[in-house]
Amino acid sequence: MSKADGLFINMCKDILENGYSSEGQLVRARWEDGTPAHTIKQFGIVNRYNLQEEFPALTLRPTALKSAFDELLWIWQRKSNRIADLNSHIWDEWADEEGTIGKAYGYQLGKKYKFAQGEMDQVDNVIWQLKNTPYSRRILTNIFNFQDLSEMNLEPCAYSVTFNVTGKKLNAVLHQRSQDILAANNWNVTQYSILVHMLAQVCGFEVGELVHVIADAHIYDRHVPVIEEMIQRPQFPAPTFSLNPEIKNFYDFTVEDIRIENYQKNPQIKNIPIAI
């Protein structure tokens, strides 16, 4: 059975059984009808995914892997903040009159800085270091730019990735300040697993671990019955994942270069309410 399913089930049970409820507190998030969106949360969740053992896509319900990958490319490869450059509508709620999400996500990764090896953006710096100084302990990105927060339509949730090479394996730690477990957990896990695969392939490594650190892991009140049903579903083996082996340049990957085989999964859960 999928180890990712097991991690997800244990995390959800821990939140539901031992988590802290925001009922009675003033909360920012609202449902579409204006009702306060309360949560049950756990602080400091850490999940480890061995990418050599399996690709961690949930089988409890399917993850839209091509849409998740397209968003990853939008942020990390296109370095865009324009929703017109994204092939889905997941960011429409946060778009301004100019059709951007402000100085957030891809905008931050596209900003250039002066590094010892020259002027480049954060993504190119990661690639340069993996190819030239792979055992450095300084290979990371950070898009939580305090100077620009007031001009971001949504402050970044997944805000930093630290890369670390152990022998021939490329590992990564994804740091996330906040996560809606039902709507976004496996979406982010699969995205950054693919990112590790991409960077490993173009920089000459094998994949290692993805460690996902979530400061505030929460389940919204209207998601509780959905989660309770979901974690009781049958589990299947993890799917087989691969990338087009002909791609040697990070910027040449497209959505069509991911290959998912033997993805057994439960039915999709539709019309999930999203708090904003």
What angle separates helix 65-76 from helix 181-203, to the nearest 10 degrees? 60
Residues 6+ apart with CB under 8 A from 81: 100, 101, 102, 103, 104, 105, 106, 107
Residue for token pair 């097991």: 6
- 219 in a known ligand binding site: yes
- 180 in a known ligand binding site: yes
Residue for token pair 């394996």: 169
Secondary structure of residue 211 in the 3-state scheme: strand
- 178 in a known ligand binding site: yes
Cα–Cα distance, 49 to 189 (Å, whole number): 9
Residue for token pair 């961690």: 56
| Alpha-carbon dihedral sign for residues 48, 53, 59, 60 | negative
Radius of gyration of the chain (CA): 19
Backbone phi, then psi, for 70, in 5-degree steps?
-60, -40
- 188 in a known ligand binding site: yes
Annotated active-site residue in 157, 260, 269, 274: 157
Cα–Cα distance, 163 to 191 (Å, whole number): 15
Strand (E) or helix (H) holding 262: none
Cα–Cα distance, 107 to 110 (Å, whole number): 5
Tell me if residue 157 is catalytic: yes
Cα–Cα distance, 246 to 201 (Å, whole number): 10
- 61 in a known ligand binding site: no
Active site residues: 157
What residues form the annotated binding site?
137-138, 177-180, 188, 218-220, 275
What residues form the annotated binding site for dUMP?
137-138, 177-180, 188, 218-220
